[in-house]
Structure 1
């Protein structure tokens, strides 16, 4: 790859994350400061990239050096040099797996080796935001004829308030749905409508401004779906590993209570985005048993609001990539997306989320710890988007009589790892409580409560035969996500998707973590790393 090509690629990164004004009109590539800034950059030389104080809007310069263990020429320890090429011409610093090479046989780390859990030492948890299963994966059945996937059939209908029938439609070219569909407790109950799942359009109508009858083109959006061209990373991972098509969120409601279930198998009785909880998690029990855990974040992280977790062990996302490279991931690793730029919460552009997922997966795939990893990717709740499957009853919740007797809508769920069934569909009904349950089951810890004990088993996605290297195919390399420069520019202007969480951070004196300069620094280094790894191509 020529130096001119390197410079042009990084110029796009610089303009998108550091060279454009941060308020009002986005000047893009014509900004003089951007031009001066990028002239000193070279994609093959990642050292000493300086963003001026004028660009940052604060005193002093911020210098981004090469990540730990990466020499100035940009070569990563176990990869190819920066001018290596994937078959499609994308510059990358990693090699494509050789399908002819036999994977090593695995020996059990605990137990007698009769269960795949005995071979797993590292769990990676990635929880995204606000999308339903049909919205993301319904097209597998509708367009691709996958009868093993409980997706869309084309017969689904919701009526408008005036009685107009609305059916699912492809959101072609509409990567950023706005306004944000309703997904609070009352909106979710309205959409569910006692199991009819027919209230999505009427709830959406109430949110549209001006009135919905003046915007007929927007009415179908909450019944809209994406396909594999729109979501290449998600579909690529579903093809390669296991798609959990019966993964429900834990409650008909919004982010906070559902995220609490993913850590505590309980929301502490909360049904809204407000309030800390003191419910137990498996993390302290893991630490007491000699295990380790860590949260990686860009701006904010949700375990802050769990007061029982007295040791947060939270670090910035930069360290995740270094830990992957160096083989120093913890036993449990919580990887938070940015709640400004790439968590998939509307009105974010879903291509940013695809780039994030592809980059996190690739970092794990090329880690020396890969053969002992299990990664789960799932969404906190449906985000107000239609799903045709009525939520089933929940099991084992002590607050069942207070409205915690039913799960929420289905969300996209993926189980990823060397011991995960390839190209499979998990039929087990799972929910967010299945995540703390998984941690307890893998590491032999007591369950935090009865709901965790009874939660659907994500281990059903694993195949014991894959501990034999001759049975285990190499993990695939995903094609790069095509990421328009405008996606990054718009993300840098995005409002916080979790204002309640941001308020808590500020009250605790931690608001600097979500400051614009810090966000820009982390986004910049993340994008540069993603480009080197071959997971994104700026267009």
Structure 2
């Protein structure tokens, strides 16, 4: 494929916990991208109605994010409640308010799971969707929460079906696959990375993990024959609960405005050199929907239970849609790609670019491909669009107060456990020097 031959650098940013309609549904609503399957007439469209306690809840515009957004539930059993499968097997997508109130006991005139951002609130994501390629059929692989879906993204399989306060059981990691295929890769982190949870502690203290602030300099100074071919960008996670730094991973209660600024910083660094940008592919997506409303039913994709799995009920569908953006000269500007994708589409892309084809990653990824999940490569163009790359002026973000708190949720305690373990490992630098947030991690109680 000509596009894969022309692309020399693949960059992946996976953010947290937002559905497609929640973040990008405005593209069709504001007529910015009429080809996108987003929101249309939310005040009257019967497909969007979530009835709870004899009241109809509909999508509403988030005008003051800090006063509205909560953290909706997204555990496996509550995602099933959100999808609202009927006795006939049809997913009505009408249980988001039901699941939210059942879990939180919080009732409001505008129920948080039904909120959506307009093109001002999600200004950077909206800009990239209009100028490059937006994927309106990118589904989270599993109807579950963060840990199992990130396992799918970075291993192609999962041994777990829910987030718990432990290191992640897994087998082959994407880093192992890239190493076997002699692919140079690197992680740039704005805070302790999610890869902590995979227990790869020696690697975390080595040279393949660098602060995000060094990205622009590295892009400018490294020769192409030694520069990494795959970059993983890691935000500041909300689950690093013991610091004052504002999270920019977009996990509620972190503000989307912080995540939008991170995306702008990344885009600015990648486009600074037009020659390098002409050979770059940036992919931005979200690990899971975070409990926010989306109107498109999941896909009937089965995920067999792997040997040694810690759960017994197989998954028979994907989860809801999440935002997917493909940003590169190697996409047609303003394209909406409607092909079915999930996080294993990234692994198919790696196999096409660096292996023997999209079927060359793993049996688990191939099983999903055989059921219809496509590769990201199918959204690319064979000929690059040669133009001055579009720019956008960053929007100001409201100051976010400190969210320092004792780790309470399963995910927060998992990060705490992994951070304490990393501190016990020796590397070229002390762990606290490489990851300053580790200096204040509290002991487990």
Whether 1:461 and 2:375 are equivalent positions in the alignment is: no
Cα deviation for residue 388 of structure 1 reads 0.6
- Over residues 241-265 of structure 1, what are the superposed CA-to-partner deviations in whole Å (9 max), with x where a residue is unaligned? 0001100001111111111111111
1:191-214 C-alpha deviation (Å, 9 max, x unpaired): 1122121110011113445x52xx
The corresponding residue for 1:350 is 256
1:63-78 matched pairs, under 5 angstroms? none
| Cα distance, 1:418–1:395 mapped onto 2, change above 3 Å | farther
Distance in 2 (CA, whole Å) between partners of 1:225 and 1:495 is 30
Shift of 1:503: 2.0
Equivalents in 1 of 2:406, 2:325: separation in Å? 28
2:383 is paired with a residue whose SS is: helix
1:133·1:245 contact (CA, 8 Å) conserved in 2? Answer: yes
Match of 2:297 in 1: 390
Classify 1:507/1:225 alpha carbon distance in 2 versus 1 (closer, same or farther; 3 Å).
Answer: same
Do the aligned partners of 2:304 and 2:315 also contact (CA within 8 Å) in 1?
A: yes
In structure 1, C-alpha distance between the alignment counterparts of 2:58 and 2:79, rounded to whole Å: 19
Q: 1:171 aligns with which of 49, 62, 77?
A: 62
Question: Matches of 1:494 and 1:144 in 2, distance apart?
Answer: 41
TM-score by length of 2: 0.81
1:399-438 equivalence runs, <5 A: 399=306, 402-438=313-349
Local SS of the residue matching 1:405: coil
What are the within-5 Å matches in structure 2 for residues 61-460 of structure 1? 114-144=1-31, 146-153=33-40, 154=42, 155=45, 156-160=48-52, 162-175=53-66, 177-194=68-85, 195-208=91-104, 211-212=106-107, 216-217=108-109, 219-273=110-164, 274-306=166-198, 311-312=203-204, 313-327=208-222, 329-340=227-238, 341-367=247-273, 368-394=275-301, 397=304, 399=306, 402-444=313-355, 446-452=360-366, 454=369, 455-460=373-378
SS of aligned partner of 1:393? coil
- Alignment size in residue pairs: 393
Indicate how the Cα distance of structure 1 residues 413 and 226 shifts in structure 2: closer, same or farther if over 3 A, else same. same
User: Greater relative contact order (Cα 8 A, min sep 6): structure 1 or 2?
Assistant: 2
Distance 1:494 1:149, change over 3 A: farther
Change (3 A) 1:116 1:180: same
- Mapped to 1, the partners of 2:16 and 2:253 lie a distance apart of 11
Is residue 299–residue 514 contact of structure 1 (8 Å, CA) maintained in 2? Answer: yes
2: distance between equivalents of 1:460 and 1:163?
A: 44
**Partner Cα distance (1:309, 1:281) in 2:** 14
Q: Deviations over 1:409-446 (max 9, x none)?
A: 10011001111221100111100111111111111253
1:394 is displaced (CA, Å) by: 1.8
- The CA deviation at 1:324 is 2.2
TM-score by length of 1: 0.68
Instruction: Find out whether 1:476 has 2:390 as its counterpart.
Output: yes
- Structure 1: 5+ residue stretches without partners: 1-113, 520-539
Structure 2: give runs of 5+ residues left out of the alignment: 86-90, 239-246, 425-430, 441-445
Q: Counterparts of 2:131 and 2:402 in 1: how far apart (Å)?
A: 29
**CA offset digits 1:149-181 (Å, max 9, x no partner):** 111122110011x11001111011224644311
- Do the aligned partners of residues 282 and 309 (structure 1) sit closer, same or farther apart at CA in structure 2, a change above 3 Å counting? farther
Question: Shift of the alpha carbon at 1:281?
Answer: 3.0
Distance 2:265 2:112 in 1: 28
